[in-house]
Structure formats: C-alpha cells, structure tokens
Amino acid sequence: MRAFDYLATVDLRQAVRLLDEHGTSARILAGGTDLLADLKSSSSSPGLIIDISRIKELKVIESTAHGLRIGAMVTHSEIMQSALIREHCPALADAARTIGAVQTRNLGTLGGNLVTAVPSMDSGATLLALDARVVLACGGGTREMPLTDFFMGPRKTVLRPGELLVEVVIPACNLGKPAHFLKTGLRKGQALALVNVAASLWLDAAGNIEEPRIALGAVAPSVIRAMAAERYLAGRSPQSGSMAEAGKIAAEECRPINDFRATAAYRRDLVAVLVKRALAQACERALKRQHERGAP
Ligand SMILES: Cc1cc2nc3c(=O)[nH]c(=O)nc-3n(C[C@H](O)[C@H](O)[C@H](O)COP(=O)(O)OP(=O)(O)OC[C@H]3O[C@@H](n4cnc5c(N)ncnc54)[C@H](O)[C@@H]3O)c2cc1C
C-alpha cells in the first residue's frame, strides 16, 4: 500500500467541500471493509482519504413525512438493531443479518455497500423492492434519484467525482409494506450471495396482489428488478401457482454468469425457487397485517 494523506472530519459540509476540491484523487473512507482491501491490492493510491465515519448527520435513522431516512454511515449492525427499521421494513434488517460476520457488520455501512455496487450486495435487493431513493451531495448541492438509477454495472454507480452518498430514503407510502429477503450462498454464514432475492407486495380489498416488486442480486451486472414477473403478478390472486410462474419468469429475465461459485443455470434455478418462496412469505406477512387490522 502506498502512502496517502488522511483527514477525518465531523462536518458533512467540510467532507463535501474536500471531495469537491480533490475530485478523483480523493477516496471516502466509511467502515473501510471494502476500501482497505482495495487499497492493498491496487497499484495506484489516492492522494487523500476522507474519513466520514464521525459525521453524525450520516448516522441518522429517522421517520419523516417523506419516508424513513437511513444515513450512509449507518452500519449493518445498527440496521439490525434499529427499532424503526424492524418495525417499518424488517426485511432490510433480515438482509443486514446475512452480511459477513459480526466484525464486518459492525464496521460495514449501508452507504459503502451501495457505492461498492457489487452485484451480490445484500442491501440492494430489499431497498429496490421498497422503491428506495438515494440522496447524493456535492459542492453544487444535492440530487435525489431512485436507487434503481444509481447502479450502472459491476462496481459502477452514477456517483460523479466529488459526490458523496448522503442517505437512503424508503418512501413513506412503502413503510410497513410486506416484504421478504432470501439469500443463498455456498455456506450458511459469511458467504457472498450466489443469488439474493427480495419481494414486496400489497393485497387489495379483494385479496389480489397490488404493486408487486421483485428484486434480484448476483444474477445481472447490478441488482435488478424482475419487471416482467412483477407485471405478470399484478392483480392476480396470491396462489402458489402464480408465485411459481412469477419465479420462472424472473429466472428467464435475469442474466447470471458462470463463475467459480456456480453456473448460470444453477443460479437461474435458484432465482425461480427463491422468488416463489419470497413472494409466499411476503403474502403471509400481508395476510397477517390484514388480520391484525381487523380485515374480514
Ligand atoms: C470478510 C467480508 C465479508 C463480507 N461479506 C459481505 C456480505 O455477505 N454481503 C455484502 O453485501 N457485503 C459483504 N462484504 C462487503 C462489505 O463489507 C460491504 O459492502 C460494506 O457494507 C462496505 O461498507 P464500508 O462502510 O466498509 O465501505 P468502505 O470500505 O469504507 O467503502 C467502500 C467504497 O465505497 C466508497 N464510499 C463509502 N461510503 C461512501 C459514501 N457515503 N459516499 C461515497 N462513497 C462512499 C468508498 O470510497 C469505497 O470506494 C464483506 C466484506 C468483507 C471484508
């Protein structure tokens, strides 16, 4: 690893200003679980590392009229422990629980997970299934966009040099939306996903599926929505046959690769099974919610 300058700040505006001044020669340090490995293996080194881990504004978990704000510096352990997240989007806490080991979850952040943008990331699928948005900041101000538009490909996002991911917002209309996350790896613990899947849906007054979302990780250049499967499901009754069919459609629309972990064909089979199971679990949560609210 080559020498670089290091600066820790507690001030979000200063972090943005420094990033703006140093552009591509600066790198952000959040939890460091990905960055340190990167720096050790890379032949080039940044001129400046900007440590954002002490910026309180980036550690917020707050419910507002706009939605649930989760700061970029919130760690996976904090997501698991947050009463607000467990109440409004428990599937996100379930996804965080599957990330690495306790040491990685204590240091690794939501922001770092999304910015690293590896297709197998475990935070992305649930957030896509809940129509999450991201807020980015640079010297010129802030911009907000759907998380789906943030990813451009493996390890590529729309972040421009000098731009910081500030927070993720789950829209208020989706807080409490029944959702479920599932991951399959080569081991039960500490394994990257061969496939991960998140599904969310509402049931309308007639008991039919409304606004279904299916998101898939590790089977395309970035985390994706299975939109053909979603279109198929919308308005259907939540029968196991229709969920199985949605799984088959999702398996056709994803684009997995063969690698040393698994073949593309095996990943497609996993998608079909996991989508069906995640939809069934989301339906179960939806029915439970209706029951608790006294629906007939
Ligand atoms: C042993 C091990 C196991 C792992 N297991 C899993 C797993 O099961 N599932 C999984 O999804 N991931 C896993 N990871 C990957 C990693 O832990 C996560 O992606 C983690 O969330 C990264 O967050 P971080 O805060 O450590 O990011 P850092 O390493 O600090 O940063 C990662 C990258 O993002 C940039 N960055 C960070 N925050 C921001 C920001 N707010 N704005 C702009 N740029 C930013 C950094 O400059 C860097 O390029 C594992 C890693 C290790 C080492």
pLDDT at 130: 98
pLDDT(23) > 70: yes
CATH number at 56-174: 3.30.465.10
pLDDT at 271: 98
Starting from the edge strand earliest in sequence, which strands make up the sheet with 209-217, in order? 179-184, 195-203, 209-217, 224-225
Ligand 1 center from residue 1 Cα (angstroms): 19
Task: Work out the average pLDDT over 33-42.
Answer: 91
Select from 193, 197, 204, 195 the least CA-distant residue to 179.
Answer: 197
Buried b (16+ CB within 10 A) or exposed e, 258-277: eeebbeeeebbebbbbbbbb
Question: What's the mean pLDDT when you consider all of the chain?
Answer: 95
Ligand 1 center from residue 93 Cα (angstroms): 17
pLDDT at 188: 81
Element (H, E) at 141: strand 141-146
Q: Could you give the CA distance from residue 185 to residue 120 in angstroms, rounded to a whole number?
A: 10
pLDDT at 290: 86
Element (H, E) at 179: strand 179-184
Q: The CATH number of 5-51 is which of 3.30.43.10, 3.40.50.1970, 3.40.640.10, 3.50.50.60?
A: 3.30.43.10
pLDDT at 292: 86
Which atom of ligand 1 lies closest to the CA of 29? Answer: 30
The answer to whether residues 200 and 284 touch, using CB atoms and an 8 Å cutoff, is: no
- How many other β-carbons are positioned within 10 Å of the β-carbon of residue 161? 12
CA-nearest residue for atom 7, ligand 1, is 99
pLDDT(43) > 80: no
Which atom of ligand 1 lies closest to the CA of 35? Answer: 29
Task: Work out the average pLDDT over 143-154.
Answer: 97
Task: Find the residues whose C-beta lies inside 6 A of ligand 1.
Answer: 27-35, 72, 99-100, 104, 107-109, 111-113, 115-116, 121-122, 159, 164-165, 192
Ligand 1 center from residue 34 Cα (angstroms): 4
pLDDT at 182: 98
pLDDT at 190: 84
Q: Could you give the CA distance from residue 158 to residue 145 in angstroms, rounded to a whole number?
A: 10
Q: Could you give the CA distance from residue 18 to residue 94 in angstroms, rounded to a whole number?
A: 35
CA-nearest residue for atom 43, ligand 1, is 164
Q: Could you give the CA distance from residue 75 to residue 79 in angstroms, rounded to a whole number?
A: 6
pLDDT(296) > 70: no
High-pLDDT (> 90) share of the chain, %: 90
Could you state, in order of their start, the residue ranges of all structural domains in the chain? 5-51, 56-174, 179-288
CA-nearest residue for atom 31, ligand 1, is 112
Handedness of CA 251, 132, 109, 285 (dihedral sign): negative
The per-residue pLDDT for range 49-102, each reduced to its tens digit, is 999 999 999 999 999 999 999 999 999 999 999 999 999 999 999 999 999 999
pLDDT at 173: 98
pTM of this structure? 0.96
pLDDT at 295: 66
Which atom of ligand 1 lies closest to the CA of 33? Answer: 26
The pick from 33, 143, 166 for probing ligand 1's pocket by mutation, whose C-beta has the most ligand atoms within 8 angstroms, reads 33
Residues paired with 213 in a beta bridge: 200
Q: Could you give the CA distance from residue 215 to residue 125 in angstroms, rounded to a whole number?
A: 5
Task: Work out the average pLDDT over 234-257.
Answer: 97
CA-nearest residue for atom 11, ligand 1, is 121
Higher pLDDT, 266 or 23: 266
The pick from 27, 28, 135 for probing ligand 1's pocket by mutation, whose C-beta has the most ligand atoms within 8 angstroms, reads 28
pLDDT(210) > 70: yes
Q: The CATH number of 179-288 is which of 3.90.1260.10, 3.30.390.50, 2.40.50.100, 2.60.120.620?
A: 3.30.390.50
pLDDT at 293: 82
